[in-house]
A = this chain, B = another copy of it.
Amino acid sequence: MSPFQALRDLATEAAIISSSAATLGWDQETGMPAKASPWRSRQLGWLAGREHQLRTSQRWQAALDQAEPDNDRELASLREMRRNFERAACLPTAFVERETELTSQAKHAWAEARSKDDFAAFAPYLEQIVALLREKADLWGFEHEPYDALLEDYERGWTAEGIAGLFEALAPELRETAARAVERSVSRSPVLPAGPYPIEAQQAFNREVAASMGFDFDQGRIDTTTHPFCTTLGPADVRLTTRYDLDDFTSSLFGVMHEAGHGLYEQGLWAADFGLPAGGACSYGIHESQSRLWENHVGRSRAFWEKWLPVAGRHFPQLSGVSLDDFLAYVWKAGFTPIRVEADEATYDLHILLRFDLERRLLRGELAVADVPAAWNDAFEASFGSRPPSDREGCLQDIHWSMGGIGYFPTYTLGNLGAAQLFAAACRHPEIGSGVEKADYAGLLKWLRENVHDAGATLPPADLIRRATGEEPSAAAHLAHLRERYTA
């Protein structure tokens, strides 16, 4: 056996376990009978236990110690795996168990607090979560502030200060663009012709679009769930989901284009390295850059609808009299909603900036949990011009903090910035740019394969952006895109 093969075999075994769990998780969301839930939790618990056991085993450590990479991909995988192993080793088992227990309780407490609009009921859990995450950051160690240590799980190589700098540069123009987008949209108050848009027709249309993007249905499928997602069940098995609104076919379509963006990334990763960092995604932000690129830069573009509006008209006869301009006004409608997941492209990042600032202050000890609702509402008012009608539509709306996911939110905006930067860089190649203008995305996908997907996690996200675009990670392309689309 080659000095790297033992590690490769262990990584494959871990991937077998985690992808089996992913299959059970997919079934849980797509159609599992209601009462099957407790047993499914036991199955998932058992699989998670086996994976954790393997990843922290002496066999794993020995394989890491003895591995001798043959090439750069193996070298990068080894580096990442050593880093992950060392980080895992920093956390005592008792700490991990405490974290699992607390977040499991906190998720339930959050769901109940949200449904009752009762922040005080969730506050004690958030207190404990913040304390635990500060402890975790101490265990991992950091140079400047605790947030940096947590960020390593989501977007390695970034620091809170780096993100803050990026966001500060983004904020003023973002606010202005958002305000102008909303103003313009409100004045036009665009509407879609009345439904129903039958689900079967939506499914046929979505499938046609996803296939045209390059999504391989021999290695994937689309199902229906309340919350759309993309999950990978194996090196040739990527599942997307969406939800259907009978009054608005664009809801399921943009859901599919977003998830298919994630799915194209997963299908572009190297199957031969499945389970190894070289065959895995680079980061949450880079993953999100792929979904946002296809959803927003492709799916909400004029060129896309020049080609696809007539096709949509064949699936949905009520679209036959709609002009491209009127339709695009609907696709580009913007408005200030308190709810992040309902936000449009022009206002979305404002929700993220708000969250990043609050959670950074929480971790620094500059903001007390009890003061979160007021701080949230003040920040929201400063950005959106009004206060959320309730905490349910304010600081209680997201599940992330209850899961211990502080540090996750910035990856949404990093994804938006990455999408714009990568798309612009790709389109600077004349043949890709002219393809995109004709809604032909073969060249774009090839470029993404070569510049993003092939690399897997062999380099940190900022390096990947640098290598692919020749630029520092920046907000410029994203702002230019929003300006052009929403204020021109």
Contact = CB atoms under 8 A, between A and B. Distances in A.
Interface in A426-445: none
B16 A46 contact: yes
B46 A13 contact: yes
A288 B33 CA distance: 24
A210 B204 CA distance: 30
A375 to B, nearest CB: 43
A40 B221 contact: no
A121 B86 CA distance: 56
Contacts of A219: 33, 35-36
B221 A39 contact: no
B33 A217 contact: yes
A155 interface: no
B33 A237 contact: yes
Contacts of A43: 16, 19-20, 23, 234
A101 interface: no
Contact of A23 (B13, B16, B24, B35): B24
A394 interface: no
Contacts of A39: 19, 233-237, 274
Contacts of A216: 35
A47 B20 contact: yes
Given A20-B20, A23-B24, A236 B35 contact: yes
Contacts of A42: 12, 16
Interface in A26-44: 26-27, 31-36, 38-40, 42-43
A217 B32 CA distance: 10
A218 interface: yes
A257 interface: no
Nearest to A26: B27
Nearest to A239: B33
A36 B235 CA distance: 7
Given A36-B237, A233-B36, A236-B36, A221 B31 contact: yes
Most B Cβ at <10 Å: residue of A31, A219, A234: A234
A155 to B, nearest CB: 29
A457 interface: no
A9 to B, nearest CB: 12
A260 interface: no
Interface string A193-220: 0000000000000000000000011111
Interface string A156-187: 00000000000000000000000000000000
A23 to B, nearest CB: 6
Given A39-B234, A46-B13, A235-B39, A218 B23 contact: no
A17 interface: yes
Contacts of A46: 13, 16-17, 20
A220 to B, nearest CB: 6
Interface in A218-243: 218-221, 233-237
Contacts of A34: 218
A46 B12 CA distance: 11
A237 B26 CA distance: 15
A309 to B, nearest CB: 30
A272 to B, nearest CB: 12
A23 B23 CA distance: 8
A55 to B, nearest CB: 15
Interface string A35-74: 1101110110011001000000000000000000000000
A221 B20 contact: no
A274 B24 CA distance: 19
Given A19-B39, A23-B27, A236 B33 contact: yes
Contacts of A24: 20, 23
A33 B218 CA distance: 5
Nearest to A20: B43
Nearest to A237: B36
Interface string A348-383: 000000000000000000000000000000000000
Interface of A: 12-13, 16-17, 19-20, 23-24, 26-27, 31-36, 38-40, 42-43, 46-47, 50, 216-221, 233-237, 274
11 contacts: A16-B43, A20-B24, A23-B43, A32-B237, A33-B221, A33-B237, A35-B237, A39-B237, A40-B237, A43-B234, A50-B50
Given A26-B27, A33-B236, 18 more contacts: A13-B46, A17-B46, A20-B24, A20-B43, A20-B46, A23-B23, A23-B24, A23-B27, A32-B237, A33-B217, A33-B220, A34-B218, A35-B216, A35-B218, A35-B236, A35-B237, A38-B236, A39-B233
